[in-house]
Amino acid sequence: MFKESLQQILMDLKNNEKYKEQIVHWKEMEAVEARTAPFPLSMNEKLVQALQRRGIGEMYTHQESAFSAAQKGENVVAVTPTASGKTLCYNLPVLQKITENEESRALYIFPTKALAQDQMSELNELIDEMGIPVRCNTYDGDTSPTIRQAVRKAGHIVITNPDMLHSAILPHHTKWISFFENLQYVVIDELHTYRGVFGSHVANVIRRLKRIAAYYGANPQFICTSATIANPKELAEQLTNLPMRLIQNNGAPRGKKHFIFYNPPVVNKPLNIRKSATVEINDLAKRFLSNDIQTIVFARSRVRVEIILSHLQQMIKRNFGPDAIRGYRGGYLPKQRREIERGLRNGEIKGVVSTNALELGVDIGQLQVCLLTGYPGTIASVWQQAGRAGRRQNESAVIMVAGSSPLDQYIVGNPGAFFDRTPESARINPDNLIILIDHLKCAAYELPFKKGELLDGVDVEELLEYLAENHVLHQRVDKWYWMNEAFPAHGISLRSASQENVVIIDQSDVTNHIVIGEMDRFSAMTLLHDEAIYLHQGIQYQVEYLDWEERKAFVREVSVEYFTDANLAVKLKVLEVDEKVQLPKAELYYGDVMVNAKATIFKKIRMSTFENIGSGPIHLPEEELHSNAMWFSFPSALIERYGHSLEAGLVGLAQVLGSVSPVFAMCDRNDIHVVPQIKAEHSELPTVFIYDSYPGGIGLAKTIYNQADTVLKHAKSHITSCPCKNGCPACVGVPSDGNQTNTKQLVIQLIHQLIARTSNDEMSIQERLYE
């Protein structure tokens, strides 16, 4: 049977009339040659020979730079694309140090267990080639008690994750005395994943780690590696509170890459709803796979992974058999994952359908095609996933198939917003009061605080006194002690800013109810109400009962073709204005707000078409949230000018800002909320608020405030490029009075109010901010 090559298929996609409307952008990225440097003379001979036996004759330039900087005692952050050999940036300095001093210890922190296991295998292979007795082990929830003891006593390299460091290692540091006394290096891999609430927590875990290390007389060097983000040095310095040497002289080679934006055909013109991205992905994947072209498909949830996987296995089982196409996601056993990774590397497995579990640096060899089911949420994630195809010299293709969501449509409709921008900045706020106090409790449990002692440079005496007044700590003479029998780390999740979380209990198995997660109360109102469809690592659950008093949500696994979306009635009160910019025809503010919210009703929305197929009431009390916000205030004259239509215009502006802002804040759509008010409580003016949906705020609204001009221009570009006439779900929403109001045009006029410039005043919002 004749098989097409990758080049032939790409040529057909480019020239075939069938795809003319669907392929909205095609970018060709030319191949790049490797840039190398010889092994440094200071590198141990056994280490050099081990690398040579593994086929490495020279180092890439970024690997050599990282090694040299580490040798000089500098803290390093190395930033290069996927599959560029970042692992050696930290493995070589660590192994070099152990050859110089066998008592030396290193701590590796990875965001996931799967990545930790993969890196341990690779590191142990290198150690075996060296022929020296270096003990390297993972220390996580799967590590058996007997191995744990050996790791604590004699492990040279301990590989763990932030949650384990927070709840199992630091609280029990007295069992790790020899490890902490000799701690030379701390490695933080996949730095870009530590952003928002999670990153803010991890920064405080690092503060505690440095405090414990200092107690035992150690002052470790930090080596961080990251995928491409806009502010790697800033993020690494915020996370570690140390000066960092940035290394980004990537020397790894890259084959030619075709990057294609594919928009499915419209199936409902009035609502601008498109054919399902999943169906299009199946057809594209089938074509590549049936021509024996190794392909990875990324889907956003476990459910999508399983749906696409079953379709593809049915489609091509005659050619290869079902085992040639495999799924890869959270929930698979480690043994299964290792088997799939091995099959991809040796070519036995032709295709894999994965959640973002394979986005991080697990080695899966050289695939030729990467298909993305929708925009994964950040530019950094797209490049991570795209990096899975065409590793080294192969020609490869990346095709992103857009869904009908506003964010997907914005990205494919504005390729310049993707290709011409650096990936997002990652933002954290380690001094968020709620998060800092939680870790202060943990730190006090680990070691008493002395009067005048700083927590990694932060003056915390006032907070210690507050905790003592509330009988959480006990002050005796000039020290503060933990005074509770329970130890605090177990009650503090690194994934949430709030302590009073709702625990999610899976009762699918009647005989074995298990806790599968937790969620802050504010989010639980709209995501865990009775009858809500809750997604946990991609699996669908229906909430059978939310016990609000006891903070427990009881869920059962289901498989349905809809999701739920709850309406939140929000009252928003401005507490304090921190910054203000006077615009020619409006005002821009940033400050503290109090949000009172009550969930009212929920809608059931079909996944494939986004149509409303049912609704129901929500019976929950009002909740209160103190957060940060930025807001636009319009003059009151607009109320008279537009009358009742103004409300539809503000709602439409809120929708488009809610779609575009996450791209600039590098956050999930649910991390921010956008609230329009026809008459704001504090000013009686038409206002649109954007606030952080976490207690105390984590800096997302400030990021959007600082880029307001850019966000608004992209919002306008998104609306004008949408093919609908009066407004649709993909841009500003459907007009509440059917198609009588041209909401689309009204929202554009409101944006003009915000970015308008007078002839005498040519300053942009950004220029006004920094006047």
Domain boundary among 208, 228, 247: 247
Residue carrying structure tokens 């502010």: 231
The answer to whether residues 23 and 75 belong to one domain is no
591, part of any domain? yes
420, part of any domain? no
733, part of any domain? yes
pLDDT in tens, 32-46: 899 999 999 999 999
Highest mean pLDDT pick, 164-178, 311-325, 745-759: 164-178
What b/e string do you get for 632-665 counting C-beta neighbours within 10 Å, with b at 16 or more?
Answer: bbbeeebbeebeebbbbbbbbbbbbbbbbbbbbb
Residue carrying structure tokens 């221009």: 713
Is residue 277 very low, low, confident or very high in pLDDT (cuts 50, 70, 90)?
confident
> In the prediction, which pLDDT does 662 show?
82
Least confident of 334-338, 403-407, 421-425: 421-425
Least confident of 264-278, 545-559, 611-625: 264-278
The answer to whether residues 267 and 298 belong to one domain is yes
Q: What percentage of the chain exceeds 90 in pLDDT?
A: 40
414, part of any domain? no
> In the prediction, which pLDDT does 158 show?
94
The answer to whether residues 553 and 641 belong to one domain is no
Is residue 735 very low, low, confident or very high in pLDDT (cuts 50, 70, 90)?
low
> In the prediction, which pLDDT does 188 show?
96
Highest mean pLDDT pick, 15-19, 164-168, 238-242, 393-397: 238-242
The answer to whether residues 519 and 637 belong to one domain is no
Say how far apart CA 469 and CA 301 lie, in whole Å.
46
> In the prediction, which pLDDT does 464 show?
94
> In the prediction, which pLDDT does 477 show?
86
Give residues with Cβ within 8 angstroms of 654, minimum separation 6.
674, 675, 676, 688
pLDDT in tens, 414-458: 787 778 766 666 778 898 888 899 999 999 999 999 999 999 999
Show the CA angle centred on residue 138, arms to residues 134 and 141, nearest 5°. 160
The answer to whether residues 66 and 203 belong to one domain is yes
Identify the domain containing residue 539 by its residue range: 502-557
pLDDT in tens, 523-548: 788 889 999 988 754 467 899 999 98
The answer to whether residues 355 and 450 belong to one domain is no
Phi-psi category of residue 331: left, alpha or beta, with phi > 0 → left and psi -120 to 50 → alpha: left
Q: Which residue has the higher pLDDT, 412 or 439?
A: 439
Kindly state the average pLDDT of the residues 303-318: 76
212, part of any domain? yes
The answer to whether residues 213 and 350 belong to one domain is no
> In the prediction, which pLDDT does 359 show?
58
**Residue 364 near residue 344 (C-beta atoms within 8 A):** yes
Least confident of 102-111, 249-258, 410-419, 529-538: 529-538
The answer to whether residues 626 and 748 belong to one domain is yes
Backbone angles phi, psi at 351, to 5 degrees: -150, 150
Kindly state the average pLDDT of the residues 258-277: 83
Question: What residue type is 152 in one-letter code?
Answer: R
CATH of the domain at 632: 3.30.1360
Say how far apart CA 434 and CA 158 lie, in whole Å.
30
What is the number of structural domains in the chain?
Answer: 5
Q: State how far the alpha carbon of 567 is from the alpha carbons of 395, 617, 718, in Å.
A: 47, 10, 25
In this model, does residue 320 exceed pLDDT 90?
no
CATH of the domain at 336: 3.40.50.300
Kindly state the average pLDDT of the residues 368-388: 84
What residues does 579 pair with on adjacent strands? 590
In this model, does residue 358 exceed pLDDT 60?
yes
pLDDT in tens, 629-650: 999 999 999 988 888 889 889 9
> In the prediction, which pLDDT does 764 show?
60
The answer to whether residues 755 and 643 belong to one domain is yes
Containing H/E element for 73?
A: none
Kindly state the average pLDDT of the residues 71-92: 90
Question: What residue type is 84 in one-letter code?
Answer: S
Question: What residue type is 612 in one-letter code?
Answer: N
Closest of 480, 215, 264, 268 to residue 373, by C-alpha? 264
Highest mean pLDDT pick, 351-355, 439-443, 502-506: 439-443
Is residue 759 very low, low, confident or very high in pLDDT (cuts 50, 70, 90)?
very low
The answer to whether residues 649 and 537 belong to one domain is no
What b/e string do you get for 61-75 counting C-beta neighbours within 10 Å, with b at 16 or more?
Answer: bbbbbbbbbbeeebb
> In the prediction, which pLDDT does 758 show?
42
Residue carrying structure tokens 């560029």: 84
Containing H/E element for 647?
A: helix 645-665
421, part of any domain? no
**Residue 127 near residue 106 (C-beta atoms within 8 A):** no
Q: Which residue has the higher pLDDT, 571 or 734?
A: 571
> In the prediction, which pLDDT does 305 show?
77
Is residue 760 very low, low, confident or very high in pLDDT (cuts 50, 70, 90)?
very low
The answer to whether residues 17 and 45 belong to one domain is no
Domain boundary among 491, 521, 539: 491
> In the prediction, which pLDDT does 742 show?
80
Tell me how crowded residue 294 is: count the other CB atoms within 10 A of its CB: 22
The answer to whether residues 630 and 762 belong to one domain is yes
Is residue 496 very low, low, confident or very high in pLDDT (cuts 50, 70, 90)?
low
